[in-house]
Chain A
Amino acid sequence: MNPLASAPCLPVFAGWCAALSLSSHVPSILAVLVGTLLSTALLLIGTRRIPPGSGLYLSLTLLLVAVPAIFLLARVQGTPPVSKKYEGEATVVSERSWGFRRAVVLDTAEGRSLCLASAEKPLLEGTELRVKGTLIPLEQFLPNRGGSFNAPLFWRGKGVKQGFRPEEMTPSGKPGAWLGSWRTFLRKRLLFCLPPLLRGHLLAAWTGERDPEVADLHRHWGTSHLLAVSGFHVGILATLLLWCLHGFRFKLLWSSAILWSYVFLTGGAASACRAMTMIQLVLLGPMLAGRPSSPVNSVSVAGGLLLLFNPWLFWDIGWRLSIISALVLCSSGRVLTGRNAVVTGFAIWLATAGEASRAFESVPIAGLFMNLLALPAFSILLPVASIAALPALAGIPGGGILALGMETVFESWTALGNGVCALLPWQIPYNPLIGSLSAGMLGGAVGLGVGMGWKRAIVMSVLTVLCGLLFR
Chain B
Amino acid sequence: MDDRKKGVLFLCGGILCFALVWGLVRGFSGRWPWGTPTGVAGPSWSIRESMKASPDALPQPQPESGKDVLTETPPERWVIYLTGEVARPGILEVAPGSRLYEAVEAAGGLTSMADKEGINLAAKLSDGVHAHIPRVGEKPASEGNLTPAGKEPLSRKGDLSPASPAPIDINHAAAEELEALPGIGPKLARQIVEDRTANGPFRAREDLMRVKGIGQAKLERIKEMIVVRP
* A interface residues (Cβ-Cβ under 8 A, vs B): 18, 22, 24-27, 30, 33-34, 37-38, 40-50, 101, 116-118, 120-121, 133-134, 140-141, 143-148, 150, 165-169, 429-432, 456, 459, 463, 466-467, 469-472
Residue B157 interfacial (CB < 8 Å): yes
Q: Select A144's contact among B10, B20, B28, B120, beta carbons within 8 Å.
A: B120
Interface hits, B8-28 → A, CB 8 Å: 10-11, 13-15, 17-18, 20-22, 24-26, 28
B14, B32, B117: the one contacting A43 at CB < 8 Å is B14
By a beta-carbon cutoff of 8 Å, the part of chain B in contact with chain A is 3, 6-7, 10-11, 13-15, 17-18, 20-22, 24-26, 28-33, 41, 112, 116-118, 120-121, 136-137, 140, 155-159, 161-163, 165-166, 172-177, 179-180, 186
Excluding A41-B15, A116-B180, 6 further A-B contacts by CB distance (< 8 Å) are A37-B21, A38-B17, A44-B17, A146-B155, A150-B117, A459-B11
Are B162 and A143 in touch, CB under 8 angstroms?
A: yes
Q: Which residue in B7, B14, B33, B157 is a CB contact (below 8 Å) of A146? A: B157
Provide a sorted-by-A list of 17 A–B residue pairs whose CB atoms are within 8 angstroms.
Answer: A33-B24, A34-B24, A37-B18, A41-B15, A45-B14, A46-B14, A48-B6, A118-B176, A141-B166, A143-B162, A144-B159, A145-B157, A148-B118, A165-B173, A166-B176, A463-B15, A466-B18
Contact yes or no, A472 B116, CB < 8 A: yes
A42 x B14 contact (CB < 8 A)? yes
| Chain A residue at smallest Cβ distance from B28 | A26
The answer to whether B186 touches A30, judged by C-beta atoms less than 8 angstroms apart, is no
Partner of B156, one of A42, A44, A146, A165: A146
By a CB distance below 8 angstroms, the chain B residues around A48 are 3, 6-7, 10
Interface centre among A44, A50, A470 (most CB of B within 10 A): A44
CB distance from B9 to the nearest CB of A (A): 9
The closest CB in chain B to the CB of A102 belongs to B176
When distances are taken between beta carbons in the complex, the residues of chain A under 8 Å from B136 are 432, 472
Docked Cα-Cα span, A124 to B176, in Å, equals: 16
C-alpha spacing A467/B121, complex, angstroms: 22
Q: Smallest CB-CB separation from A115: which chain B residue?
A: B176
- Which listed residue (B21, B120, B137, B176) contacts A431, Cβ 8 A? B137
- Whole-angstrom CA separation of A150 from B129 in the bound complex: 24
Contact of A22 among B25, B155, B158, B175 (CB under 8 A): B25
Given A49-B3, A145-B155, A26 and B176 contact (CB-CB distance below 8 Å)? no
CB-based closest 3 A-B pairs:
A146-B157, A44-B14, A45-B14
Q: Cα distance A167–B201 when bound, in Å?
A: 14
Q: In the complex where A48-B7, A430-B137 touch, is A121 in contact with B25 (Cβ < 8 A)?
A: no
Q: Is B28 a contact partner of A41 (Cβ separation < 8 A)?
A: no
A143 touches B10 (CB 8 A): no
